[in-house]
Structure 1
Amino acid sequence: MIRASLMIGLFLLVLSGSGRPAGAADTEFRFAYPDAAPKGPAAAKGAAIYNHGKDRLGEPFAELPFYADGLRDAGWDVYQLIRQRAGDRQYDSRQALIAQAKALRAQGYRRVVTLGQSFGAWISFDAGAEAGVFDAIVATAPAAEGERGQSDRWRENGPLLYALARNLVPVPTMVFLFEDDAYDPGGRGEALTAIFQERAIPFALVDRPALHVSHGAARTRPFARAFGPCIAAFLDAPMPAQPFACAPAPIDLVRALVTFRLPKDLAPLAAAPAGSPAGLGPLVGRWYGWYDGGREAFFTLESIVGDRVRAVYGWANTSRSDKDQPGGYRIDGRFDSETGLLRLENERVTIEVAAQGENAIRLAWRRKESDPPVKARLRRID
């Protein structure tokens, strides 16, 4: 680990002297994975620079979206441009991004791409106007002018983005927009599509994909599982075919469950015992899904005695922060045959579960001292 850290430090010193481009003292440039070393220009497919939004999650590694892991595994060296909020102005951050991209190219990387979330996506669009800097752009939920209800300028996240799009160098550009994004004034998918087509920019635009909602949707594991393969395929193609299809990939549920911390003696019930309330049968099995904010959830029944039930509920972490840990616990409750609702309680939380057809359940979780509940839709694993 010490050797890897030394290699990373030496590599970044070669890139920019201090890890920062000249004139950008309020930024830090680093290899994204602190316990590993970059493959280097000769071995990597290229270099990808990730640019975070203005709302920081904490330590730099926590900022990195999970879809970046797929790019790393596909052969890319992934870097981060960390911007301090006090000096995070559009022009300065744009110039810092361009400077680091040029430094990577000077080191011999065959391809350099920029990835950005929110304001990081915005400066990626802005920097994309300079020729010879980037080979591709991936922008998720681009924004710079505040959010609905907080800023009088939030609607400018549309027209000002279109102006940046009209100035882009025509390199492959991928954009993701999301439902319930408080920074999105609406209509941006259609407008950007028209601009890209008019300017002959190779593009992929995923507009409000089902089940992936909110401004931060692209930072989540479910997004990475669904769209990480598509992002990697888009970047692998020097000139992506048009139109470029980007359907969500099937989720590998076995791999997904590895991220949970469930009881080691977990024993899912195979079938409801004879004489159990009829409505409990559809709840038997293992269930996986996620909340609107992207936190993954797991649920299964372990025992049924009359209308009394014991279940296991689990959750995965939504970021790489040490403060965000997966977990799980057993919880007891009772099934109401009249309402079809399973209500589970312990001293801290209440969970309500109801069937939605044969292969889905609705789960509502809340702390006893708070409301409203957070809701998730889970689908049957087996």
Structure 2
Amino acid sequence: MKGITAGLLLLALAATDAAPALAQAEAVSEGKHYEIAPATVKGGPDMPVRGPAQAKGVVVWSHGRGINEASEKAPPLVLLFAERGWDVVSVFRAWGTDNRRNATLIVGQAAEKMRALGYKRVVLMGQSAGAYASVEAVRYDYPADAVIALAPAAFGSYSGANAGPNWRENHNSLRSVWERYENKKLTVVAAYFTGDDFYEERQPNERGPWLQQALRKFGLPHMVISQPDNPPLTGHSAGQSWTFARRFAPCIYTLVETGTAPPCGDEQPELLKTFGIRRLAASAFDTREPLAGTWFGNWSGGRVISIPILRRQGDRLQARYITGASVGEQTDRVEDLDWPITDAGGGLLVRDLQTLRFEFRQDGPDRLQAKRIPKDGREVQTAVLRRIPPK
């Protein structure tokens, strides 16, 4: 990563020298041990830099630690923040001096710098070692209004090249850090994933439930995403995926903005409001039609959808197809379309388009099994849709 560009004068202040009393940590400095620059997302649109006077706040992204190198690229999760008025910067830690103690100092110094620049709110977001450092920076009272930790880990994994017994410290040591949050005032988001070889592969359903209970006890606004299976998100890097962002970005963003966790569960009809999907009035539905109602869920690619089925005309069902907020309009357009569906018989419902075919089969009175089938051979997406009956 190159240093701060001349056009980005808002980041030109020198990093503060203040640091917590972290044993065994060396003095770190910007330009030698780390760099800060506007963040980019692989495959994503450019994100504007507004500066502290105009931005709602700033997201400070901290990457993980690779075996040979690490990428400073931010995850798609940040795109919704950028679209809605936040600046996003990436902190790149120099390879060779990157360790847990230094990483905490670096994230903390970056947070102090953003506050000194005048940003009204600072969100620390990281993955793996960057997530661990972000959580630990808050423990040492570096400034943060929220922390978003994706698969936090700072110790060797359970399997692969880094295998070893200290994988347990990704809960045991981190737990002692979380316990120092009891008197903090900030919002917390944490995500853990099935098959994460830094912990959940060996010991599933432990870190998430423990943290959920602790944060509830502390009275902190929080969201703990613990091994979600709809959509299927697996592995240590799942939080950096487009699927994770499409399914959870509006939930996380709303929590950070409001301090209240919005409805985000698969079976919660209020999920539609979180994703900005309008509900049709009861008068729009013909209650004589057995399939009438609002069917909602998310594709396995993460996108939340609503398909209100209104009435029947022969073998045609009048319906709409509505997509919710995702990672931003530049990447995922919000749609609200007239969308007739054909009853093909034998329990099969079909919507056939030029490039896509949609198939639906009823699975109980209030469930539809859905498929989204690209005609060019790309991956088929599936969904379980639940019904909100007309009132």
Give the structure-1-normalised TM-score. Answer: 0.62
Partner of 1:237: none
How many matched pairs? 340
Matched, 1:37 2:50: yes
Residue 297, structure 1, aligned to residue 292, structure 2 = no
SS of match in other structure, 2:9 = helix
- Quote the offset at 1:228 in angstroms: 3.7
1:99 equivalent in alignment to 2:118: no
**1:291 to 1:180, Cα distance in 2 relative to 1, 3 A:** farther
CA contact under 8 A between 2:231 and 2:298: conserved in structure 1?
no
Gap change, CA 1:36 and 1:373, over 3 Å in 2: closer
Aligned in 2, Cα 1:108/1:206: closer, same or farther, shift over 3 Å?
same
Call closer, same or farther: CA 1:146–1:232 in 2, change over 3 Å.
farther
Q: Paired residue for 1:350?
A: 357
In structure 2, how many angstroms separate the alpha carbons of the residues matched to 1:284 and 1:324? 28
Which residue number corresponds to residue 177 of structure 1?
191
Change (3 A) 1:86 1:95: same
Q: 2:125–2:149: 8 Å Cα contact kept in structure 1?
A: yes
One-letter identity of the residue aligned with 2:299: Y
359, 375, 382: which one pairs with 1:374? Answer: 382
SS at match of 2:132: helix
**Corresponding letter in the other structure for 1:256:** G
Q: What residue in structure 2 maps to residue 12 of structure 1? A: 11
- Kindly indicate whether the alpha-carbon contact (under 8 Å) linking 1:66 and 1:219 is maintained by their aligned counterparts in 2: no
Residue 3 of structure 1 aligns with which residue?
A: none
**1:278 alignment counterpart:** none
> Which whole-Å CA distance do the structure 2 matches of 1:134 and 1:354 have between them?
47
Match of residue 231, structure 1, among 253, 256, 264: 256
Mapped pair 1:79 → 2:88: yes
Q: Output one character per residue of 1:55-85: Cα deviation in whole Å (capped at 9) or x when no partner.
A: 9999759451536777x5xxxx643225489
User: Does residue 348 of structure 2 align to residue 341 of structure 1?
Assistant: yes
Give the Cα separation in 2 of the matches to 1:151 and 1:224: 32
Alignment gaps of 5+ in structure 2: 17-28, 265-269, 279-283
Asked whether the 8 Å contact 1:342–1:353 carries over to 2, the reply is yes
Amino acid at match of 2:207: R
Output aligned runs, 1:177-216, within 5 Å.
177-178=191-192, 180=194, 182=196, 185=200, 186=204, 187-192=206-211, 204=222, 206=224, 208=226, 214=233, 215-216=238-239
Q: Matches of 1:93 and 1:256 in 2, distance apart?
A: 37
**CA–CA distance in structure 2, aligned partners of residues 188 and 157 of structure 1:** 12
Q: Which moved more, 1:361-370 or 1:299-308?
A: 299-308
Cα deviation, residue 188, structure 1: 0.5
Q: Percent identity?
A: 19
Structure 2-normalised TM-score? Answer: 0.61
Deviation at 1:290, TM superposition (A): 1.5
Paired AA for residue 115 in structure 2: R
How far off is 1:353 after superposition?
A: 1.4
* Structure 1 spans left out of the alignment, 5+ residues: 1-5, 235-244, 259-268, 275-280
CA pair 120-297 structure 1, distance change in 2 beyond 3 A: farther
Tell me the CA shift for residue 124 of structure 1: 0.8
Q: CA deviation at 1:163?
A: 1.0
Change (3 A) 1:320 1:83: farther
For 1:162 and 1:59, the matched residues in 2 are separated by 29
Letter in 2 for 1:188: R
Q: Quick one: which amino acid aligns to residue 342 of structure 1?
A: L
Looking at structure 1, the residues matched to 157 and 315 of structure 2 have their Cα atoms a distance apart, in angstroms, of 47
Cα distance, 1:351 vs structure 2: 1.7
